[in-house]
Each structure stands twice: as structure tokens, then as C-alpha cells.
A = this chain, B = another copy of it.
Amino acid sequence: MVNVQFATSVHIILALALMSKETKRLPNSDSLAESIQTNPVVVRRLLSLLNKAGLIKSTRGKNGGVQLKKSPPEITLKDVYLALEIEECVKPHNKPPHKECPVSCSIHGIMSSIAEGYQKTNLKYLESLKLSDLLKKIKA
């Protein structure tokens, strides 16, 4: 799950952006799951995170469904990445320092600084990818 949640979320927001142009009926977690060929439970969990981050909104009722809360040029993949609260693989380990070992006493500070630089680099890249630019790459 963790390893494809980013791709699945990008799929969801691309589908929402495209569907809003093409149809008057809003999609729901079932129609999105059908498009992605995944389980609606997976889609609902991701929609909940995207909603919490202010990227989408859901409305209930006969004409209800899911839609983007911002326009495609206003959404970047940094927003999606942060919404998912993904656990980085580059981060300090959680072991207590072993007082006789100088590496052990310094590793938390060293790894924190590396992790900070790593995340900054990643987010800068993801911020350069706008939903509006990705939409242009979809073959009609």
C-alpha cells in the first residue's frame, strides 16, 4: 500500500481534473476505483487524506461526489506528497545513544541534517510539477 499510494493519489487528482471538464456528474470513490482498477477502500483512504490537506472536497446527495478544491495550476505534486504523510526512508534511526561510542552519540544530529536536506531537495522537485502540466501529457 505505502509504495503505490503516491501514484494512486496522482491518478485520482488527474482523473478529478479531467472528469470535471468532460462530464457534469461528479465521480465518487467507486468510479475512481474502477478507473484505477483498485479497491474503493484504498481510494476512500486516500481521498480522506487529500481532503484533510484541502486539495479536494466531497459533497453528498444525488448530485454529490468528489471534486478538486483548487484549480490544476494551483496544485503541485508537493501538495499531494505532503498530504499523504509519507514516511521517508532517509531519516534518523530511533536507537538510544551508546555512550561509549562517538558515532552513536553523533548519529542523530548527522542524520537529522541529512534528512532535512533530502526532504528539501525532494519537495523542491515535486513542487515544480504542476497538475496543469501533467494534464497536458494525457493522451485523449
Give me the interface of A with B, judged by CB distance under 8 Å: 2-8, 10-11, 14-15, 18, 34-38, 77, 81, 86-98, 101-107, 109-111, 114, 117-118, 121-122, 124-126, 129, 134, 137-140
Contacts and interface: CB of A to CB of B under 8 A. Distances in A.
Contact of A93 (B4, B14, B34, B95): B4
A54 to B, nearest CB: 21
A7 to B, nearest CB: 4
Contacts of A107: 7, 10-11, 14
**Majority DSSP secondary structure for residues of A touching B:** helix
A90 B35 contact: no
A116 to B, nearest CB: 11
B103 A138 contact: yes
B102 A3 contact: no
Given A10-B114, A102-B140, A106-B139, 14 more contacts: A3-B87, A3-B88, A6-B91, A8-B93, A14-B110, A18-B103, A35-B98, A35-B103, A35-B104, A36-B93, A38-B95, A90-B126, A110-B137, A121-B121
Nearest to A16: B103
A93 to B, nearest CB: 4
